[in-house]
Amino acid sequence: PVNLWNEIEGVPVQARAQAVDPFALVRIVALARILMPASVVRLSAGRTGMSDELQALCFLAGANSIFVGDQLLTTGNPAAWKDQDLLTRLGIHIAPAQARPRVAAE
């Protein structure tokens, strides 16, 4: 996952943290795609602070997955309908979820 820094009160490094340049985020996504061409490059935490344009650039740079809903993250995500609208406008089709086979513990 590629996360954008979120300001969370009480985090020790918050006083030293600096906002990430949006173009640096796009370059990080592109670098992840180049270095790991067969991997999932997922936009994760911080998407509520990203414009639709920034998310679009990240997808064009190589991101191919997002978390939908608030179940997995400390910070919130955009509403599912906003994600659906963005992906539709970008012409990105959502792949159906694939259940992983369960492996019995030995």
User: Residue 22 is encoded by which pair of tokens?
Assistant: 């949006």
| pLDDT band (50, 70, 90) for residue 33 | very high
Q: What is the mean pLDDT of the chain?
A: 82
pLDDT in tens, 45-88: 778 888 899 999 999 999 988 877 666 556 677 778 888 898 89
Q: Which of 32, 29, 5, 9 is nearest to 17 (CA)?
A: 5
Q: What is the pTM of this model?
A: 0.75
Identify the sign of the CA torsion 1, 8, 77, 93. Answer: negative
Query: Would you state the pLDDT for residue 27?
Result: 95
